[in-house]
Each structure stands twice: as structure tokens, then as C-alpha cells.
């Protein structure tokens, strides 16, 4: 769970076609064209490898156009099952409903453990074209030492932890999780970037900290976001009722104000594409 910002070293529009119907005499039907292959789906925007071929890191889009990406970390650690069984809620369906009502695209960074605990919600979010699902590890253990007290993942298990989360997403029915990864706590170093190269992910960080973790004052969260947003910003918030109870109310204040200022809400994938991402 992110309680402070940390920067270490140096993350349905369905096309409609209108077809005109023409009456053709049965004995004068035109020849059918030869079948052609279906057009390939557009490649998902990612970034080229970073220096020395390391996993690339993305923290904001181009500063020209007034676009902003709201991102939500659906946190749950591998050892919080007993707390969930006792009634603690790590989901936040009211927040998801608010985003849908406001028609705000968003990127949700899920841990695999969260998707296991709330498979119906994970599947619903993953199948809604308003959202995209990205990876926040399976365990929500840190990928460096000294990361806000989180347990750490050994270097030789980092890739497996990320791939385990993707396996859970597939199992619960998330159809197309994005090749984006957010480090738990935002903590990473060169060793972590090297370990994740075979996973083929783009690491997604942020440039605006929402400050909603453990916050009860929705107005304070909204002010912090509104004060920090710039064109191309990536805002980090949380989709966890027990640890971020004010987020839904804050979002209801943030969205209309940013729209009044001329901002357009986008998913992370659109910002990466605008930054010259490749497929």
C-alpha cells in the first residue's frame, strides 16, 4: 500500500459500420470476392526497453494535450486471506460504480490475490471496455528492500510472482490483461528492472500521488490530486475499501473539476501510445 511517493533510480469504442442494402436479382448476383484474412488487432502500446535493455519505466504522458489517466491499485497481499474471511473488505464496488456512472476510463492494477478473492469483480472490470486491467504482482510483496515495511520477493522469484498474477487473471476470466506492471509500493531498482525483462512488461509508475491510502478526508484527497495534475499525468489512487475509504467520494469531486478545466480522461495505454509507445 502506498503511503508516500517514492521515485527510485534513474507504467468500448466499438466501430460501427453502416451498410447500404441493395436488392439484387437472383440471376444477376455479383461474384463474391475471395475471402481475406481478418485484420490483425492493434498491438498494445508498450515502451522500448530502457537503458542497457532493462524493463522500461513510464510515469507520465506528453505534456501537450490535456489528458490524464486515473489509475487504481487493487491491493491485497498473499497473507490477508484470514482478514478477508473475517469480513474486511479489500474491494470497492462503489468506486467502480462511480467510475461507470461518470464514464471515466481507468486502468486498474490488480494483485493476483485480489483477483482470487473477488473473481466476479475482476472479471467484470476486465470485460468492461471502460477499463483496462494491469498487473500489480501476485503477492504485493516488495521488489526491493526497505519498502514501507512490505515483505520482499527474492530476485529469482520476481518474474514468477508477476506471471502468477497473469495466470490468476486468465483463470478468473479477465480476457486481455495489459502488459503493464506496477511495483508494490512503487519501489524498484536496477535488479528488479533486470529481473522483469523476460516478462515483457512496461513498468508504470505515476507523477501524482492521490494520498488516499488510509485517508478519511475526501476533500483533502481531491485537493491533492487537483493541485498535482498536469497534462499527461498518471494519478495513483486505490480500489480498496478498508484502506482507502474516501476514494469514491474524492473521485466524484475530482472528475467534474478536471473536466471543467478541459481535461480528458484516458487509460494508461493511450498515454503510452501518445508517448511513442510501440506494439
pLDDT given for residue 278 in this prediction: 55
39, pLDDT greater than 90: no
pLDDT tens-digit readout, 42-95 = 689 999 999 999 999 999 999 999 999 999 999 999 889 999 999 999 999 999
Q: Dump pLDDT digits (tens) for 160-180.
A: 999 999 999 999 999 999 999
Residue 10 — very low, low, confident or very high, per pLDDT cuts 50/70/90?
very low
Q: Closest by alpha carbon to 70, among 213, 275, 271?
A: 271
CA distance 208 to 263: 15
Average pLDDT on 222-227 reads 98
Query: What pLDDT, on a 0 to 100 scale, did the predictor assign at position 11?
Result: 34
User: What does the pLDDT average to over 100-126?
Assistant: 98
Is the pLDDT at 12 greater than 60, yes or no? no
200 has pLDDT over 90? yes
Q: Are 63 and 97 in contact (CB under 8 A)?
A: no
* pLDDT above 50: residue 28: no
For residues 72-102, one letter each, b for 16 or more C-beta atoms within 10 angstroms of the residue's C-beta and e for the rest, the string is: bbbbbbbebeeebeeeeebbbeebbebbeeb
As a whole-number percent, the residues of the chain with pLDDT over 90 amount to 82
Please give the pLDDT value at position 43. Answer: 83
Amino acid at each position: 500500500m502506498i503511503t508516500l511517493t517514492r521515485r527510485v533510480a534513474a507504467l468500448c469504442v466499438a466501430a460501427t459500420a453502416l451498410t447500404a442494402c441493395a436488392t439484387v436479382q437472383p440471376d444477376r448476383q455479383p461474384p463474391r470476392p475471395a475471402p481475406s484474412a481478418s485484420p490483425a488487432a492493434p498491438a498494445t502500446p508498450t515502451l522500448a526497453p530502457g537503458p542497457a535493455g532493462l524493463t522500461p519505466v513510464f510515469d507520465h504522458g506528453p505534456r501537450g494535450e490535456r489528458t490524464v489517466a486515473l489509475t487504481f491499485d487493487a491491493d491485497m497481499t498473499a497473507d490477508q486471506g484470514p482478514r478477508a474471511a473475517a469480513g474486511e473488505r479489500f474491494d470497492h464496488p462503489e468506486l467502480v460504480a462511480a467510475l461507470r456512472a461518470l464514464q471515466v476510463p481507468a486502468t486498474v492494477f490488480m494483485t493476483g490475490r485480489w483477483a482470487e478473492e473477488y473473481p466476479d469483480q475482476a472479471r467484470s472490470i476486465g470485460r468492461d471496455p471502460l477499463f483496462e486491467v494491469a498487473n500489480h504482482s501476485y503477492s504485493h510483496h516488495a521488489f526491493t528492500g526497505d519498502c514501507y515495511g512490505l515483505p520482499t520477493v527474492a530476485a529469482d522469484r520476481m518474474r514468477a510472482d508477476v506471471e502468477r498474477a497473469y495466470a490468476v487473471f486468465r483463470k478468473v476470466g479477465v480476457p486481455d490483461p495489459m502488459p503493464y506492471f506496477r511495483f508494490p509500493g512503487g519501489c524498484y531498482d536496477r535488479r528488479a528492472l533486470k529481473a522483469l525483462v523476460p516478462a515483457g512488461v512496461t513498468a508504470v509508475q505515476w507523477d501524482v500521488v492521490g494520498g488516499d491510502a488510509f485517508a478519511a478526508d475526501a476533500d483533502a484527497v481531491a485537493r491533492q490530486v487537483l493541485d498535482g495534475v498536469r497534462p499527461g499525468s498518471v494519478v495513483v489512487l486505490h480500489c480498496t475499501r478498508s484502506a482507502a475509504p474516501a476514494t469514491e467520494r474524492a473521485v466524484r469531486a475530482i472528475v467534474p473539476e478536471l473536466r471543467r478545466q478541459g481535461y480528458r480522461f484516458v487509460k494508461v495505454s493511450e498515454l503510452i501510445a501518445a508517448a511513442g509507445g510501440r506494439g
